[in-house]
Amino acid sequence: MRQSQMLVPTLKENPADAECASHRYLVRAGFIRQTAAGIYSYLPLGYRVIRKIEAIVRDEMEKAGCVELLMPAMQPAELWHETGRWHVYGPELMRLKDRHGRDFALGATHEELITSLVRDELNSYKKLPMTLYQIQTKYRDERRPRFGLLRGREFIMKDAYSFHSNPESLDERYQIMYEAYKNIFSRCGLDFRPVIADSGAIGGKDTHEFMALAEVGEDTIAYSDSSDYAANIEMAAVLFKEEKSDEALLPLDTGDVKAGEENSIKIGWYRADDTNVCVLYRAGNEINEVKVKNVLDAAMIEEWAHDGDPFEMKDSVVLLADQALKNVVNGRLDNKNGEVLHYNVNVERDLPHARIADLCMIKEGDPSPDGVGTIRFARGIEVGQIFKIGTKYADAMGANFLDENGKSQPIIMGCYGIGISRTLSAIAEQHHDEFGLVWPKSVAPFTVHIVPVNAKNEAQKLLSEQLYEHLSRDYDVLLDDRDERAGVKFAEADLIGCPIRITVGKKAQEGLIELKDRRTGEQRECAVSEVEEAIREFLNK
Ligand code: ATP
Ligand code: MG
Protein backbone atom coordinates (compact mmCIF):
# COMPACT_ATOMS: atom_id res chain seq x y z
CA MET A 1 0.00 0.00 0.00
CA ARG A 2 1.15 3.53 -0.72
CA GLN A 3 1.45 5.76 2.31
CA SER A 4 0.38 8.82 0.29
CA GLN A 5 -2.97 7.12 -0.28
CA MET A 6 -3.56 6.11 3.32
CA LEU A 7 -5.00 8.10 6.18
CA VAL A 8 -2.12 8.06 8.69
CA PRO A 9 -2.50 11.22 10.77
CA THR A 10 0.62 11.04 12.94
CA LEU A 11 1.23 13.52 15.76
CA LYS A 12 4.57 14.98 16.82
CA GLU A 13 3.53 15.40 20.42
CA ASN A 14 1.98 13.01 22.87
CA PRO A 15 -1.79 13.52 23.14
CA ALA A 16 -2.52 15.24 26.44
CA ASP A 17 -5.27 12.84 27.51
CA ALA A 18 -3.30 9.61 26.94
CA GLU A 19 -2.75 7.77 30.21
CA CYS A 20 -0.58 4.87 29.08
CA ALA A 21 1.94 3.93 26.38
CA SER A 22 -0.46 2.00 24.15
CA HIS A 23 -3.00 4.82 24.14
CA ARG A 24 -0.29 7.42 23.50
CA TYR A 25 1.35 5.59 20.61
CA LEU A 26 -1.80 4.29 18.94
CA VAL A 27 -3.07 7.86 18.71
CA ARG A 28 0.30 9.39 17.84
CA ALA A 29 1.08 6.84 15.13
CA GLY A 30 -2.34 7.37 13.55
CA PHE A 31 -3.89 3.96 14.36
CA ILE A 32 -6.99 5.21 16.20
CA ARG A 33 -8.98 8.38 16.83
CA GLN A 34 -11.47 9.07 19.60
CA THR A 35 -14.98 10.19 18.67
CA ALA A 36 -16.42 10.33 22.19
CA ALA A 37 -15.28 9.00 25.56
CA GLY A 38 -14.51 5.29 25.04
CA ILE A 39 -15.67 5.35 21.41
CA TYR A 40 -13.02 5.10 18.70
CA SER A 41 -12.48 4.85 14.97
CA TYR A 42 -9.94 2.31 13.82
CA LEU A 43 -7.96 4.14 11.13
CA PRO A 44 -6.45 2.13 8.25
CA LEU A 45 -3.31 1.05 10.14
CA GLY A 46 -5.26 0.18 13.29
CA TYR A 47 -7.88 -1.71 11.35
CA ARG A 48 -5.22 -3.80 9.63
CA VAL A 49 -3.97 -4.95 13.05
CA ILE A 50 -7.55 -5.66 14.16
CA ARG A 51 -8.06 -7.82 11.05
CA LYS A 52 -4.85 -9.74 11.69
CA ILE A 53 -5.88 -10.46 15.28
CA GLU A 54 -9.32 -11.51 14.03
CA ALA A 55 -7.73 -13.82 11.46
CA ILE A 56 -5.71 -15.55 14.20
CA VAL A 57 -8.84 -15.85 16.36
CA ARG A 58 -10.91 -17.26 13.46
CA ASP A 59 -8.17 -19.73 12.55
CA GLU A 60 -7.94 -21.07 16.11
CA MET A 61 -11.71 -21.11 16.58
CA GLU A 62 -12.23 -23.10 13.37
CA LYS A 63 -9.42 -25.50 14.34
CA ALA A 64 -11.21 -25.99 17.66
CA GLY A 65 -14.41 -26.92 15.82
CA CYS A 66 -16.34 -23.69 16.44
CA VAL A 67 -18.67 -22.25 13.80
CA GLU A 68 -19.06 -18.54 13.08
CA LEU A 69 -22.34 -16.64 12.94
CA LEU A 70 -23.33 -13.02 13.45
CA MET A 71 -26.05 -11.85 15.80
CA PRO A 72 -27.63 -8.41 16.02
CA ALA A 73 -26.21 -5.71 18.27
CA MET A 74 -29.73 -4.42 18.84
CA GLN A 75 -31.66 -6.73 21.15
CA PRO A 76 -35.27 -6.49 22.32
CA ALA A 77 -35.70 -5.87 26.06
CA GLU A 78 -38.02 -8.89 26.35
CA LEU A 79 -35.01 -11.24 26.06
CA TRP A 80 -33.26 -9.46 28.93
CA HIS A 81 -36.45 -9.55 30.98
CA GLU A 82 -36.55 -13.34 30.61
CA THR A 83 -33.28 -13.69 32.56
CA GLY A 84 -33.89 -10.68 34.80
CA ARG A 85 -30.74 -9.03 33.52
CA TRP A 86 -32.65 -5.98 32.17
CA HIS A 87 -32.60 -4.87 35.83
CA VAL A 88 -29.54 -6.70 37.14
CA TYR A 89 -27.12 -5.38 34.50
CA GLY A 90 -27.57 -1.79 35.64
CA PRO A 91 -26.46 1.41 33.91
CA GLU A 92 -23.72 -0.37 31.93
CA LEU A 93 -26.35 -1.72 29.56
CA MET A 94 -26.97 0.81 26.80
CA ARG A 95 -30.72 1.14 26.28
CA LEU A 96 -32.78 2.77 23.59
CA LYS A 97 -36.34 2.92 22.31
CA ASP A 98 -37.57 2.40 18.77
CA ARG A 99 -40.18 4.66 17.12
CA HIS A 100 -42.98 2.64 18.70
CA GLY A 101 -41.58 3.17 22.17
CA ARG A 102 -40.36 -0.42 22.50
CA ASP A 103 -37.27 -0.97 24.65
CA PHE A 104 -34.04 -2.32 23.23
CA ALA A 105 -30.52 -2.89 24.51
CA LEU A 106 -27.29 -2.64 22.56
CA GLY A 107 -25.62 -5.99 23.16
CA ALA A 108 -23.15 -5.91 26.06
CA THR A 109 -22.93 -9.68 25.70
CA HIS A 110 -25.08 -12.23 23.87
CA GLU A 111 -26.11 -15.05 26.24
CA GLU A 112 -29.78 -14.09 26.01
CA LEU A 113 -29.80 -13.72 22.27
CA ILE A 114 -28.01 -16.96 21.50
CA THR A 115 -30.10 -18.90 24.02
CA SER A 116 -33.23 -17.61 22.29
CA LEU A 117 -31.79 -18.84 18.98
CA VAL A 118 -30.90 -22.36 20.09
CA ARG A 119 -33.83 -23.12 22.39
CA ASP A 120 -36.05 -24.09 19.49
CA GLU A 121 -33.31 -25.76 17.47
CA LEU A 122 -31.00 -27.80 19.72
CA ASN A 123 -33.92 -29.80 21.08
CA SER A 124 -32.39 -33.27 21.04
CA TYR A 125 -29.23 -34.80 22.55
CA LYS A 126 -28.39 -35.86 18.99
CA LYS A 127 -27.79 -32.24 17.99
CA LEU A 128 -25.40 -31.58 20.90
CA PRO A 129 -22.67 -30.53 21.53
CA MET A 130 -22.27 -27.41 19.40
CA THR A 131 -20.07 -24.32 19.69
CA LEU A 132 -20.96 -21.08 17.91
CA TYR A 133 -19.02 -17.83 17.86
CA GLN A 134 -19.14 -14.34 16.46
CA ILE A 135 -16.86 -11.32 16.19
CA GLN A 136 -18.92 -8.27 16.86
CA THR A 137 -19.12 -4.80 18.32
CA LYS A 138 -20.23 -4.69 21.95
CA TYR A 139 -21.59 -1.79 23.96
CA ARG A 140 -21.07 -1.16 27.66
CA ASP A 141 -21.61 2.22 29.23
CA GLU A 142 -18.54 1.85 31.45
CA ARG A 143 -18.37 4.12 34.47
CA ARG A 144 -14.80 5.08 33.63
CA PRO A 145 -13.84 4.48 30.01
CA ARG A 146 -10.08 4.90 29.82
CA PHE A 147 -6.67 3.83 28.53
CA GLY A 148 -7.78 4.17 24.92
CA LEU A 149 -9.09 0.84 23.64
CA LEU A 150 -8.40 -0.98 26.90
CA ARG A 151 -11.69 0.08 28.46
CA GLY A 152 -14.02 1.34 25.78
CA ARG A 153 -17.77 1.84 25.69
CA GLU A 154 -17.92 0.45 22.15
CA PHE A 155 -15.44 -2.36 21.53
CA ILE A 156 -14.89 -5.46 19.43
CA MET A 157 -15.34 -8.84 21.10
CA LYS A 158 -15.15 -12.43 19.97
CA ASP A 159 -17.78 -14.30 21.91
CA ALA A 160 -18.37 -18.04 21.70
CA TYR A 161 -21.10 -20.15 23.29
CA SER A 162 -21.12 -23.91 23.63
CA PHE A 163 -24.12 -26.17 24.27
CA HIS A 164 -24.03 -29.60 25.89
CA SER A 165 -26.17 -32.49 27.04
CA ASN A 166 -23.88 -33.47 29.93
CA PRO A 167 -21.24 -31.87 32.19
CA GLU A 168 -18.41 -34.08 30.85
CA SER A 169 -18.98 -32.70 27.38
CA LEU A 170 -18.73 -29.13 28.75
CA ASP A 171 -15.50 -30.04 30.61
CA GLU A 172 -14.02 -31.36 27.37
CA ARG A 173 -15.01 -28.23 25.44
CA TYR A 174 -13.66 -25.97 28.19
CA GLN A 175 -10.27 -27.64 27.90
CA ILE A 176 -10.27 -27.27 24.10
CA MET A 177 -11.11 -23.56 24.41
CA TYR A 178 -8.44 -23.13 27.09
CA GLU A 179 -5.83 -24.50 24.68
CA ALA A 180 -7.19 -22.44 21.75
CA TYR A 181 -6.96 -19.27 23.87
CA LYS A 182 -3.36 -20.07 24.78
CA ASN A 183 -2.58 -20.49 21.07
CA ILE A 184 -4.32 -17.23 20.16
CA PHE A 185 -2.52 -15.08 22.71
CA SER A 186 0.84 -16.73 21.98
CA ARG A 187 0.40 -16.11 18.27
CA CYS A 188 -0.46 -12.47 19.03
CA GLY A 189 2.94 -12.15 20.71
CA LEU A 190 1.54 -11.53 24.19
CA ASP A 191 3.22 -12.35 27.47
CA PHE A 192 0.19 -13.68 29.33
CA ARG A 193 -1.02 -15.97 32.10
CA PRO A 194 -4.25 -17.95 32.35
CA VAL A 195 -5.51 -17.33 35.90
CA ILE A 196 -8.21 -18.81 38.11
CA ALA A 197 -10.96 -16.20 38.31
CA ASP A 198 -14.29 -15.40 39.97
CA SER A 199 -17.39 -15.94 37.89
CA GLY A 200 -19.00 -12.71 39.13
CA ALA A 201 -22.46 -11.70 37.98
CA ILE A 202 -22.56 -13.92 34.89
CA GLY A 203 -23.06 -17.04 37.03
CA GLY A 204 -21.47 -20.45 36.76
CA LYS A 205 -18.51 -22.21 38.32
CA ASP A 206 -15.16 -22.83 36.67
CA THR A 207 -13.68 -19.82 34.98
CA HIS A 208 -10.25 -18.64 33.85
CA GLU A 209 -9.16 -15.20 32.78
CA PHE A 210 -6.31 -14.70 30.35
CA MET A 211 -4.14 -11.87 31.62
CA ALA A 212 -1.64 -9.96 29.50
CA LEU A 213 1.06 -8.87 31.93
CA ALA A 214 1.38 -5.08 32.03
CA GLU A 215 1.79 -2.40 34.68
CA VAL A 216 -1.31 -0.51 33.50
CA GLY A 217 -3.44 -3.64 34.05
CA GLU A 218 -6.36 -3.10 36.39
CA ASP A 219 -6.17 -6.59 37.90
CA THR A 220 -3.62 -8.07 40.26
CA ILE A 221 -2.49 -11.63 39.68
CA ALA A 222 -1.01 -13.87 42.35
CA TYR A 223 1.36 -16.37 40.79
CA SER A 224 3.87 -18.90 41.98
CA ASP A 225 7.54 -18.18 41.29
CA SER A 226 8.16 -21.89 40.70
CA SER A 227 5.02 -23.45 39.20
CA ASP A 228 2.20 -22.73 36.74
CA TYR A 229 -0.14 -21.64 39.53
CA ALA A 230 -1.73 -18.24 38.85
CA ALA A 231 -4.98 -16.75 40.12
CA ASN A 232 -6.80 -13.51 40.24
CA ILE A 233 -5.73 -12.12 43.61
CA GLU A 234 -9.27 -12.44 45.00
CA MET A 235 -9.37 -16.13 44.11
CA ALA A 236 -5.99 -17.21 45.49
CA ALA A 237 -6.46 -19.60 48.41
CA VAL A 238 -4.36 -18.96 51.51
CA LEU A 239 -2.69 -22.10 52.82
CA PHE A 240 -3.33 -22.65 56.51
CA LYS A 241 -0.37 -23.65 58.61
CA GLU A 242 -0.89 -24.46 62.24
CA GLU A 243 1.48 -22.65 64.63
CA LYS A 244 2.11 -24.72 67.73
CA SER A 245 1.78 -22.75 70.95
CA ASP A 246 2.57 -23.80 74.53
CA GLU A 247 0.45 -21.03 75.94
CA ALA A 248 -2.41 -22.16 78.17
CA LEU A 249 -5.89 -20.93 77.22
CA LEU A 250 -7.01 -18.34 79.77
CA PRO A 251 -10.63 -17.78 80.76
CA LEU A 252 -12.42 -15.14 78.73
CA ASP A 253 -12.19 -11.55 80.00
CA THR A 254 -10.04 -12.38 83.01
CA GLY A 255 -6.45 -11.59 83.88
CA ASP A 256 -4.35 -9.32 81.69
CA VAL A 257 -5.20 -7.75 78.36
CA LYS A 258 -2.53 -8.76 75.85
CA ALA A 259 -1.19 -5.85 73.83
CA GLY A 260 0.29 -6.05 70.35
CA GLU A 261 -0.98 -6.20 66.78
CA GLU A 262 -0.42 -9.97 66.50
CA ASN A 263 -2.92 -10.60 69.33
CA SER A 264 -5.61 -8.39 67.86
CA ILE A 265 -8.77 -9.83 66.31
CA LYS A 266 -10.58 -7.43 64.00
CA ILE A 267 -14.18 -7.31 62.81
CA GLY A 268 -15.70 -6.59 59.40
CA TRP A 269 -19.43 -6.15 58.77
CA TYR A 270 -21.06 -7.00 55.44
CA ARG A 271 -24.34 -7.56 53.69
CA ALA A 272 -24.28 -10.51 51.28
CA ASP A 273 -27.53 -10.67 49.27
CA ASP A 274 -30.07 -10.39 52.14
CA THR A 275 -27.83 -11.72 54.90
CA ASN A 276 -26.04 -9.68 57.58
CA VAL A 277 -22.53 -10.97 58.09
CA CYS A 278 -19.88 -10.48 60.76
CA VAL A 279 -16.34 -11.50 59.80
CA LEU A 280 -13.57 -11.96 62.37
CA TYR A 281 -9.98 -11.91 61.17
CA ARG A 282 -6.45 -11.50 62.40
CA ALA A 283 -4.99 -7.98 62.43
CA GLY A 284 -2.47 -7.50 59.62
CA ASN A 285 -4.63 -9.48 57.22
CA GLU A 286 -7.22 -8.06 54.86
CA ILE A 287 -10.72 -9.44 54.33
CA ASN A 288 -11.32 -10.81 50.82
CA GLU A 289 -14.94 -9.92 49.99
CA VAL A 290 -15.06 -12.37 47.08
CA LYS A 291 -14.21 -15.26 49.41
CA VAL A 292 -16.84 -14.11 51.93
CA LYS A 293 -19.41 -13.87 49.15
CA ASN A 294 -18.49 -17.30 47.79
CA VAL A 295 -18.51 -19.02 51.21
CA LEU A 296 -22.09 -17.81 51.62
CA ASP A 297 -22.99 -18.67 48.02
CA ALA A 298 -24.18 -15.09 47.58
CA ALA A 299 -24.39 -13.16 44.32
CA MET A 300 -23.57 -9.74 45.75
CA ILE A 301 -21.67 -8.33 48.72
CA GLU A 302 -21.26 -4.85 50.19
CA GLU A 303 -19.91 -3.32 53.37
CA TRP A 304 -22.45 -2.80 56.15
CA ALA A 305 -22.19 0.39 58.18
CA HIS A 306 -22.56 -1.32 61.54
CA ASP A 307 -20.63 -1.87 64.74
CA GLY A 308 -21.30 -4.25 67.59
CA ASP A 309 -20.13 -7.09 69.77
CA PRO A 310 -20.03 -10.53 68.12
CA PHE A 311 -20.67 -12.11 71.52
CA GLU A 312 -24.01 -10.35 71.74
CA MET A 313 -25.17 -10.84 68.21
CA LYS A 314 -28.63 -11.83 67.11
CA ASP A 315 -29.29 -15.02 65.16
CA SER A 316 -30.01 -12.88 62.11
CA VAL A 317 -26.28 -12.21 61.73
CA VAL A 318 -24.04 -14.93 60.32
CA LEU A 319 -20.68 -15.17 62.09
CA LEU A 320 -17.61 -16.10 60.05
CA ALA A 321 -14.00 -16.38 61.24
CA ASP A 322 -10.88 -16.49 59.14
CA GLN A 323 -8.79 -19.66 59.48
CA ALA A 324 -5.74 -17.72 60.73
CA LEU A 325 -7.61 -17.10 64.00
CA LYS A 326 -7.02 -20.75 64.88
CA ASN A 327 -3.45 -19.66 65.62
CA VAL A 328 -4.41 -16.74 67.88
CA VAL A 329 -4.24 -17.83 71.52
CA ASN A 330 -5.83 -15.54 74.12
CA GLY A 331 -6.52 -12.81 71.57
CA ARG A 332 -7.94 -9.34 72.01
CA LEU A 333 -11.14 -8.50 70.17
CA ASP A 334 -11.16 -4.87 69.06
CA ASN A 335 -14.06 -2.93 67.59
CA LYS A 336 -13.83 -0.52 64.64
CA ASN A 337 -12.43 2.25 66.84
CA GLY A 338 -9.76 0.01 68.34
CA GLU A 339 -11.55 -0.24 71.69
CA VAL A 340 -11.23 -3.61 73.45
CA LEU A 341 -14.50 -5.56 73.42
CA HIS A 342 -13.18 -8.79 74.96
CA TYR A 343 -9.83 -10.30 75.82
CA ASN A 344 -8.35 -13.74 76.21
CA VAL A 345 -10.59 -14.71 73.34
CA ASN A 346 -10.07 -18.13 71.77
CA VAL A 347 -12.38 -18.19 68.82
CA GLU A 348 -12.97 -21.94 68.50
CA ARG A 349 -13.67 -22.20 72.23
CA ASP A 350 -15.64 -18.99 72.79
CA LEU A 351 -17.54 -18.65 69.54
CA PRO A 352 -18.13 -22.27 68.54
CA HIS A 353 -20.93 -21.33 66.17
CA ALA A 354 -18.54 -19.23 64.04
CA ARG A 355 -17.94 -20.77 60.65
CA ILE A 356 -14.19 -20.95 60.09
CA ALA A 357 -12.98 -20.58 56.53
CA ASP A 358 -10.32 -19.02 54.30
CA LEU A 359 -11.61 -15.43 54.10
CA CYS A 360 -8.55 -13.20 53.70
CA MET A 361 -6.39 -11.91 50.85
CA ILE A 362 -3.23 -13.75 49.93
CA LYS A 363 0.01 -11.79 50.47
CA GLU A 364 3.21 -11.55 48.47
CA GLY A 365 5.67 -14.00 49.99
CA ASP A 366 2.96 -16.48 51.12
CA PRO A 367 3.46 -20.09 50.05
CA SER A 368 1.79 -20.90 46.72
CA PRO A 369 -1.58 -22.67 47.19
CA ASP A 370 -0.41 -25.58 45.01
CA GLY A 371 2.41 -26.19 47.48
CA VAL A 372 5.13 -25.28 44.99
CA GLY A 373 7.06 -22.03 45.42
CA THR A 374 6.25 -18.59 46.75
CA ILE A 375 3.54 -16.14 45.73
CA ARG A 376 4.47 -13.03 43.74
CA PHE A 377 2.13 -10.34 42.44
CA ALA A 378 1.89 -8.89 38.93
CA ARG A 379 -0.51 -6.55 37.16
CA GLY A 380 -2.52 -7.84 34.22
CA ILE A 381 -4.95 -6.79 31.49
CA GLU A 382 -7.85 -9.23 31.07
CA VAL A 383 -7.81 -10.03 27.35
CA GLY A 384 -10.08 -13.07 27.51
CA GLN A 385 -12.22 -15.16 29.81
CA ILE A 386 -13.77 -18.62 29.61
CA PHE A 387 -16.70 -19.79 31.75
CA LYS A 388 -18.56 -22.95 32.56
CA ILE A 389 -21.99 -21.37 32.91
CA GLY A 390 -24.11 -24.45 33.45
CA THR A 391 -27.87 -24.17 33.07
CA LYS A 392 -28.47 -20.61 34.33
CA TYR A 393 -29.65 -19.24 30.98
CA ALA A 394 -31.35 -22.43 29.82
CA ASP A 395 -33.34 -22.55 33.09
CA ALA A 396 -34.37 -18.91 32.85
CA MET A 397 -35.27 -19.07 29.18
CA GLY A 398 -36.61 -22.59 28.87
CA ALA A 399 -33.92 -23.96 26.55
CA ASN A 400 -34.37 -27.72 26.87
CA PHE A 401 -33.45 -30.84 24.94
CA LEU A 402 -34.72 -34.41 25.01
CA ASP A 403 -32.12 -36.85 26.38
CA GLU A 404 -31.59 -40.50 25.36
CA ASN A 405 -34.59 -41.52 27.48
CA GLY A 406 -36.88 -38.91 26.01
CA LYS A 407 -36.68 -36.80 29.16
CA SER A 408 -36.58 -33.02 28.90
CA GLN A 409 -33.44 -31.41 30.37
CA PRO A 410 -31.96 -27.90 30.36
CA ILE A 411 -29.08 -27.37 27.91
CA ILE A 412 -25.71 -26.97 29.65
CA MET A 413 -23.72 -23.95 28.46
CA GLY A 414 -20.20 -22.58 28.31
CA CYS A 415 -19.16 -19.12 27.14
CA TYR A 416 -15.86 -17.75 25.97
CA GLY A 417 -14.90 -14.11 25.26
CA ILE A 418 -11.91 -12.29 23.82
CA GLY A 419 -11.59 -8.52 23.68
CA ILE A 420 -10.23 -8.04 20.17
CA SER A 421 -9.73 -4.28 20.45
CA ARG A 422 -8.39 -4.65 24.00
CA THR A 423 -5.93 -7.26 22.71
CA LEU A 424 -4.64 -4.75 20.16
CA SER A 425 -3.94 -2.29 22.97
CA ALA A 426 -2.42 -4.96 25.19
CA ILE A 427 0.00 -5.90 22.39
CA ALA A 428 0.96 -2.24 21.99
CA GLU A 429 1.39 -1.97 25.77
CA GLN A 430 3.90 -4.83 25.73
CA HIS A 431 5.61 -3.99 22.43
CA HIS A 432 6.94 -0.45 22.24
CA ASP A 433 10.07 1.55 22.99
CA GLU A 434 10.91 5.25 23.28
CA PHE A 435 10.52 5.72 19.52
CA GLY A 436 7.12 4.13 19.09
CA LEU A 437 5.37 0.83 18.45
CA VAL A 438 7.26 -2.41 17.78
CA TRP A 439 4.74 -4.85 16.31
CA PRO A 440 5.22 -8.61 16.47
CA LYS A 441 5.31 -9.85 12.88
CA SER A 442 2.10 -11.87 13.29
CA VAL A 443 -0.07 -8.78 13.78
CA ALA A 444 2.00 -5.93 12.28
CA PRO A 445 -0.05 -3.69 9.99
CA PHE A 446 2.70 -4.21 7.36
CA THR A 447 5.71 -6.48 7.51
CA VAL A 448 7.99 -4.33 5.37
CA HIS A 449 8.13 -0.53 5.24
CA ILE A 450 10.05 0.84 2.23
CA VAL A 451 11.42 4.34 2.72
CA PRO A 452 13.22 6.11 -0.14
CA VAL A 453 15.48 8.76 1.38
CA ASN A 454 14.92 11.32 -1.37
CA ALA A 455 11.60 11.07 -3.19
CA LYS A 456 12.85 13.35 -5.95
CA ASN A 457 15.80 11.14 -6.83
CA GLU A 458 14.85 9.08 -9.91
CA ALA A 459 17.08 6.09 -9.14
CA GLN A 460 15.76 5.82 -5.57
CA LYS A 461 12.20 6.22 -6.71
CA LEU A 462 12.52 3.59 -9.41
CA LEU A 463 14.21 1.04 -7.16
CA SER A 464 11.66 1.63 -4.39
CA GLU A 465 8.80 1.07 -6.83
CA GLN A 466 10.41 -2.12 -8.14
CA LEU A 467 10.97 -3.46 -4.64
CA TYR A 468 7.42 -2.56 -3.67
CA GLU A 469 5.99 -4.40 -6.63
CA HIS A 470 8.21 -7.42 -6.14
CA LEU A 471 7.94 -7.85 -2.36
CA SER A 472 4.17 -7.26 -2.33
CA ARG A 473 3.74 -10.72 -3.84
CA ASP A 474 4.83 -12.35 -0.57
CA TYR A 475 4.58 -9.67 2.08
CA ASP A 476 2.39 -6.83 3.31
CA VAL A 477 4.41 -3.85 2.16
CA LEU A 478 3.98 -0.16 2.90
CA LEU A 479 5.75 2.25 0.54
CA ASP A 480 6.47 5.72 1.86
CA ASP A 481 6.00 7.53 -1.44
CA ARG A 482 5.45 10.94 0.16
CA ASP A 483 7.61 13.93 -0.59
CA GLU A 484 8.83 14.41 2.99
CA ARG A 485 12.21 14.98 4.61
CA ALA A 486 14.12 11.74 5.32
CA GLY A 487 14.24 12.49 9.06
CA VAL A 488 10.47 12.83 9.23
CA LYS A 489 9.94 9.59 7.32
CA PHE A 490 12.36 7.64 9.50
CA ALA A 491 10.83 8.95 12.71
CA GLU A 492 7.35 8.05 11.50
CA ALA A 493 8.48 4.59 10.39
CA ASP A 494 9.79 3.99 13.92
CA LEU A 495 6.57 5.35 15.40
CA ILE A 496 4.39 3.04 13.23
CA GLY A 497 6.63 0.10 14.07
CA CYS A 498 6.63 -2.32 11.12
CA PRO A 499 9.13 -5.15 11.78
CA ILE A 500 11.44 -4.35 8.83
CA ARG A 501 12.35 -1.02 7.29
CA ILE A 502 14.07 -0.96 3.91
CA THR A 503 15.92 2.27 3.27
CA VAL A 504 16.60 3.12 -0.38
CA GLY A 505 19.31 5.79 -0.40
CA LYS A 506 22.38 7.00 -2.21
CA LYS A 507 23.58 3.50 -3.14
CA ALA A 508 20.40 2.74 -5.04
CA GLN A 509 22.30 3.19 -8.26
CA GLU A 510 24.69 0.40 -7.25
CA GLY A 511 21.73 -1.83 -6.37
CA LEU A 512 22.40 -1.59 -2.63
CA ILE A 513 19.80 -1.00 0.04
CA GLU A 514 19.68 -1.10 3.84
CA LEU A 515 17.48 -3.26 6.09
CA LYS A 516 16.67 -2.28 9.64
CA ASP A 517 15.17 -4.54 12.29
CA ARG A 518 12.72 -2.36 14.21
CA ARG A 519 12.96 -4.41 17.38
CA THR A 520 16.72 -4.83 17.74
CA GLY A 521 17.77 -1.78 15.75
CA GLU A 522 20.17 -3.98 13.77
CA GLN A 523 20.98 -2.53 10.34
CA ARG A 524 22.42 -4.34 7.39
CA GLU A 525 23.36 -3.27 3.88
CA CYS A 526 22.38 -5.76 1.24
CA ALA A 527 22.19 -6.19 -2.50
CA VAL A 528 18.75 -5.93 -4.04
CA SER A 529 19.15 -9.47 -5.37
CA GLU A 530 19.51 -10.76 -1.79
CA VAL A 531 16.71 -8.80 -0.20
CA GLU A 532 14.30 -11.71 0.19
CA GLU A 533 16.90 -13.85 1.86
CA ALA A 534 17.71 -10.99 4.24
CA ILE A 535 14.01 -10.39 5.08
CA ARG A 536 13.55 -14.07 5.87
CA GLU A 537 16.55 -14.00 8.17
CA PHE A 538 15.31 -10.90 9.97
CA LEU A 539 11.82 -12.35 10.43
CA ASN A 540 13.06 -15.65 11.77
CA LYS A 541 15.18 -14.13 14.48
P1 ATP B 1 -13.69 -6.15 32.80
O2 ATP B 1 -13.59 -6.93 34.09
O3 ATP B 1 -12.38 -5.69 32.29
O4 ATP B 1 -14.73 -5.08 32.84
P5 ATP B 1 -15.40 -8.23 31.91
O6 ATP B 1 -14.92 -9.35 32.74
O7 ATP B 1 -16.62 -7.51 32.30
O8 ATP B 1 -14.20 -7.18 31.71
P9 ATP B 1 -16.25 -10.08 29.87
O10 ATP B 1 -17.70 -9.97 30.06
O11 ATP B 1 -15.53 -11.26 30.40
O12 ATP B 1 -15.54 -8.73 30.40
O13 ATP B 1 -15.95 -9.85 28.32
C14 ATP B 1 -15.05 -10.65 27.55
C15 ATP B 1 -13.84 -9.84 27.13
O16 ATP B 1 -14.20 -8.60 26.51
C17 ATP B 1 -12.96 -9.43 28.28
O18 ATP B 1 -12.09 -10.48 28.65
C19 ATP B 1 -12.21 -8.23 27.71
O20 ATP B 1 -11.09 -8.66 26.98
C21 ATP B 1 -13.21 -7.62 26.76
N22 ATP B 1 -13.83 -6.41 27.34
C23 ATP B 1 -14.74 -6.33 28.33
N24 ATP B 1 -15.08 -5.06 28.60
C25 ATP B 1 -14.36 -4.30 27.75
C26 ATP B 1 -14.27 -2.89 27.51
N27 ATP B 1 -14.99 -2.03 28.21
N28 ATP B 1 -13.44 -2.45 26.53
C29 ATP B 1 -12.71 -3.32 25.81
N30 ATP B 1 -12.74 -4.65 25.99
C31 ATP B 1 -13.55 -5.14 26.93
MG1 MG C 1 -14.34 -11.06 32.20
The domain boundary residue, chosen from 324, 357, 390: 357
Domain count, the chain: 3
pLDDT along the chain (541 residues), means of 10: 96 92 98 97 98 98 98 98 94 98 98 96 96 98 96 98 97 98 98 87 75 96 94 93 90 86 93 95 96 92 93 90 96 90 95 96 96 96 96 96 97 98 98 98 98 95 97 98 96 98 96 97 96 95 77
Kindly state whether residues 269 and 409 are assigned to the same domain: no
Ligand nearest to the CA of 140: 1
Span from the CA of 402 to the centroid of ligand 2 (angstroms): 32
Number of H helices, E strands in the chain: 13, 30
Is residue 370 assigned to a domain? no
CB 30 near ligand 1, within 6 Å: no
Do 243 and 206 touch, CB atoms closer than 8 A? no
pLDDT of residue 3: 97
- Is 364 domain-assigned? no
Nearest to residue 354, comparing CAs of 283, 295, 288, 297? 295
Asked if residue 196 and residue 48 are part of one domain, the reply reads: yes
Neighbouring CB atoms inside 10 A of 14's CB total 13
Please say whether the beta carbons of 148 and 425 come within 8 A: yes
The answer, yes or no, to whether any atom of ligand 1 lies below 6 A from the CB of 417, is yes
Check if 380 has its Cβ closer than 6 Å to any atom of ligand 1. Answer: no
Those residues whose beta carbon sits under 5 angstroms from the ion ligand 2 are 385
Same domain for 382 and 346? no
Cα(107) to ligand 1 centroid in Å equals 13
Report the pLDDT value the prediction gives residue 204, as an integer from 0 to 100: 55
The answer to whether the CB of 266 falls within 8 A of the CB of 282 is yes
**Inside any domain, residue 256:** no
The CATH number assigned to the domain holding 522 equals 3.40.50.800
Query: Rounded distance, CA 239 to CA 349, Å?
Result: 22
* CATH for 344: 3.90.960.10
Domain containing residue 307 = 261-357
Q: Could you tell me if residue 15 is inside a domain?
A: no
In one-letter notation, the amino acid at residue 334 is D
Is 176 a member of any domain? yes
Cα dist from 100 to 106, 247, 485, whole Å:
17, 76, 58
Q: Are residues 94 and 37 in the same domain?
A: yes
Are 143 and 89 found together in one domain? yes
Helix (H) or strand (E) holding 212: strand 207-213
Residue 514 burial (C-beta neighbours within 10 Å; 0-12, 13-18, 19+): middle
In a domain? residue 440: no
Among 326, 357, 388, the domain boundary falls at: 357
Q: How far apart are CA 179 and CA 60, in angstroms?
A: 9
Q: Are residues 394 and 457 in the same domain?
A: no
Q: Do residues 169 and 114 both lie within one domain? A: yes
Output the CA torsion sign for 167, 168, 169, 173.
positive
Within this chain, do residues 165 and 213 fall inside the same structural domain, yes or no? yes
Distance CA(295)–CA(343), nearest Å, equals: 28
- Contact yes or no for 2/481 (Cβ under 8 A): yes
Residues 64 and 175 in one domain: yes
What is the reported pLDDT for 200?
60
Please tell me the distance from the alpha carbon of residue 164 to that of residue 128, in angstroms, as a whole number: 6
- Determine if ligand 1 sits within 6 Å of the CB of residue 531: no
Residue 245 maps to a domain = no
Substitution candidate for ligand 1 out of 385, 386, 427 with most atoms within 8 A of CB: 385
Q: Both 311 and 399 in a single domain?
A: no
306: helix, coil or strand? coil
CATH number at residue 45: 3.30.930.10
Please indicate, yes or no, if residue 489 is contained in any of the structural domains: yes
- pTM value? 0.91
191 and 97, same structural domain? yes
Both 128 and 66 in a single domain?
yes
Q: Is 386 in the pocket of ligand 1 (CB under 6 A)?
A: no
Ligand 1 atom 4, closest CA: 151
Q: Which residues contact 226 (CB under 8 A, 6 or more apart)?
A: 368, 372, 373, 374
The pLDDT of residue 120 is 87
Helix, strand or coil, per DSSP, at residue 266? strand
Which one-letter DSSP state was computed for residue 363? -
Q: Which amino acid is at 482?
A: R
In sequence order, which ranges of 119-263 are alpha helices (DSSP H)?
Answer: 167-187
